[in-house]
Each structure stands twice: as C-alpha cells, then as structure tokens.
Amino acid sequence: MRIAVVGSGYVGLVSGACFADFGHTVTCVDQDARKIEALNQNQIPIYEPGLDTLVSSNRAAGRLSFSTELKPAVSGADLVLIAVGTPSRRGDGHADLSYVYAVARELADAIDGFTVVATKSTVPVGTGDEVERILREANPKAEVAVVSNPEFLREGSAINDFKRPDRIVIGLEDERAREVMSEAYRPLSLNQPPLFFTTRRSAELIKYASNAFLAMKITFINEIADLCEAVGGDVQDVARGMGLDNRIGSKFLHAGPGFGGSCFPKDTLALMKTGQDYGTPLRLVETTHAVNAQRKRTIARRVQLAVGGNLRGRTIGILGLTFKPNTDDMRDAPALDIIRFLQDQGAAVRAYDPEGVDSARQMIDGVTFATDVYDAAAGVDALVIVTEWDAFRALDFPRLKKVMSAPVLVDLRNIYASRDVERHGFAYHSVGRRSV
C-alpha cells in the first residue's frame, strides 16, 4: 500500500515508521522544513527507544521518505493519516482543531482516486464529520472516505504498542474504507489483527474515554495514598490487593506526584468541555482534572516538610524531569510545578534527567542542570526522585551520603523500600507509606 502521513510529530513519525516496517510505502509530510531536513539525515527530533533504528532502516530500504510537499505524497495514496497536533485551545480548554481542518482543506486538492483519510490525531466527537464536510465542499468530485483511527501509543513504548496493540479502533461510515484499513493493519497478525470497527463518533469517544478512565485510576490511587498516610496504611499493598481483582487490574495504580504528558491533561480537559457543550457534564472527569492539578502543587510541600519546613537558602536536588521515563517529553510534567514551588519558597535547584535536560532548559529558568545523579546530589539538603528512570533504581547511597549536605531522600515514585534506604543513615520520605 501507499500511505501518506501528514504531520511528522510523535504520533505521525512512529506510525509512519511502523507502517513502513510492515512493508508499506510511506511518505511523512510536515510543513517544518528543518524537521524534514533533519529526518532525511536520520536525525530524530524526539527521544523514543528504537525509533532511530526503525527510521534509518526503512529509509535505507526505500519504504520511508520525508517531504514538505503534500500533493505528491497524497496523490495516488491509498490511505492518508492526519497526525497533526490538537493542543488545548488557549482561553477555553477546547481542543484546537485548526491544524486538522487546515490539512483537510489541503487534502481536497491533492486526492487522486479513491482515498481513505484517517484521523490519527486525538479529536473531539464530530470532528470526522467536519473533516468530511470540508473535503466535499472543497472538492465535490473527490472519492474519499473519512474514518477515525485513534492512536493508543504510550511514550517510551510506542513501537511495541503499535506492533502489538490490545486493539485497533476504526470508526467508519463508508464500508469501502473497511477493506483499506484492514489491509493497512493486516501485517500485524498472521491470522486476524485485533481490529474493532465501530461508528466514527464512537471511535472518537473511545480515545477520550480511555484516557479519562486511566487518568481517574491514577488520581484515585493518589487520594488513597493520602488516606493511607493518615491512617497508617501502605498504598502499595492496597494497590496490589486491588489489582489482583481482574475487574480492576494493577495498571495505573501507582501513587505519585500526579499525571502529566501530552495526552491525559489536555484530553481530560477536552472531554470535560465536550460534556459541557452537550449539556451532559462529566463530574468524575472534572474532579479528576482539578484534583490532579492540585496534586502537583501539594506534593511539592512534602519536600518542604522533609527539610524542616523552611526552604529558603536550601538546595534541593531533583532526579527526573520528564513526565515519565523513556521519553524527553516535558509537557505538563510534575517536575515543573515542583521546581517552581521550590524556587518560590527560596530554594536553589539542581536537576538531572537522562533525556529531558534539553527540553527542560526551554521551560524552566534558574535551575542548575547536572551531568549525572551524583552531580545533582552535590551539596543538596534533600534529593527528590520525581521520575522513575531505571538509572535511579540502584543508587549508591554511601556515595550519595558523602556528597549531600544532608542525607534526606524524598521518593515520589516509591522506588525503594524504606529499610533499604534508612540502613544507610538516610531520612526517607515516600508516598502513601509511613515516613520517618
């Protein structure tokens, strides 16, 4: 098949590279000439494990190419994926669909022959209807079927998620699109790829509802963690006991500083706005969004308490800046709110992240960025684990104790057992468990 992917950001680049690896001929298009030039030199603009190898091998095989020219890529394509950004619209929180609609207008003149246009971008219910209206209004003769094909890629494991998905959701109104979408994903399985066909509006809602539900699980266990601290329970035992129930499951029941990233914050907000627009307010989602925003601020006060309540003149070390490990994504990362709170309270901050430092430099000022864990710990009054990178799971505590001003560890991800840290003479503070 010939596939064109419009938008070479995270979703577009991963999807394009994976489809090419299946054997399809893929062209990724983007208006950013500098990005396309870099990609044509095998320079990947984002950090995603394995993506650089996937891109370079498929470029070398002639299956994957990058271009700023939309019409040559789309003309003759069997399938066109719209994978542009849908950030929260400034002022009201709705998803900004201007990029999606701009692409639809451009596609109208470029489509040649019957083409399936699939929206990969996360979009509110009804967006596919508007994309189809734009296409047909701009080019009434276009032979096109518009489908919704939401992505469910986790940053840090996106390639595995694409190639070994739990399900592939495809929402369509034109049955001609079923064969095209089935063929696109056919290489996933020797027998039957996990395709779930539904209506276009249902597919759009599935994406938002899935993310909102997972965000609620995170927020729920964070509130249970606070209760555990108050009554003397252990949130990790509680979460494990809950997760052993197959109806609940263990995933996303890890207490911490709250969720961030490119999806959960903006998607919960967009779903809230959709509910309000249609007169069906989603109270659980609204509360989830509000509680998580507050969580990031209040969790920072734990650091303040760990050093005796006064941060002025203190130096705090931060381990982990990205919202999760195995990515360089800093969007809505809890570390941002924590660092701003520490700075507002008069503390100096030293920080280290294996991949996120370059992104962090563009988002926060006044931070000393360290070269490794022990550089970040040099002279600090407390060390705070914010992101659970593997590099932080086997810290050399005797070495840390020598370089730190005070042996205080605040573990916001519960990586360690308290006894393993305390036996080295550290004051250890975690989430949802008894602290010293």
Among the listed residues 18, 28, 228, 263, the single catalytic one is: 263
Q: Measured between alpha carbons, how far is 107 from 250 in angstroms, rounded to an integer? A: 43
Contact status, residue 329 vs residue 262, Cβ threshold 8 Å: yes
The position carrying tokens 């809230």 is 272
Q: Which helix (H) or strand (E) holds 217?
A: helix 200-231
Please name every residue paired with 167 in a beta bridge, in sequence order, or none if there are none.
none
What is the phi-psi region of residue 414: left when phi exceeds 0, alpha when psi lies from -120 to 50, beta otherwise?
Answer: left
3-state secondary structure 180-201: HHHHHHHHHCCCCCCEEEECHH
What is the phi-psi region of residue 385: left when phi exceeds 0, alpha when psi lies from -120 to 50, beta otherwise?
Answer: beta
Burial class (CB in 10 A: 0-12, 13-18, 19+), 231: exposed
Neighbours of 115 (CB within 10 A): 25
DSSP 64: E
Q: Measured between alpha carbons, how far is 156 from 16 in angstroms, rounded to an integer? A: 17
- The single-letter code of the amino acid at 281 is P
Q: Measured between alpha carbons, how far is 351 from 360 in angstroms, rounded to an integer? A: 10
- The single-letter code of the amino acid at 167 is R
Q: Measured between alpha carbons, how far is 227 from 229 in angstroms, rounded to an integer? A: 5
Q: Measured between alpha carbons, how far is 370 from 377 in angstroms, rounded to an integer? A: 9
Contact status, residue 17 vs residue 24, Cβ threshold 8 Å: no
Catalytic, 228? Answer no
Q: Measured between alpha carbons, how far is 43 from 39 in angstroms, rounded to an integer? A: 5
Tokens of 173: 């109104």
Burial class (CB in 10 A: 0-12, 13-18, 19+), 138: middle
Please name every residue paired with 82 in a beta bridge, in sequence order, or none if there are none.
6, 119
Active site residues: 263
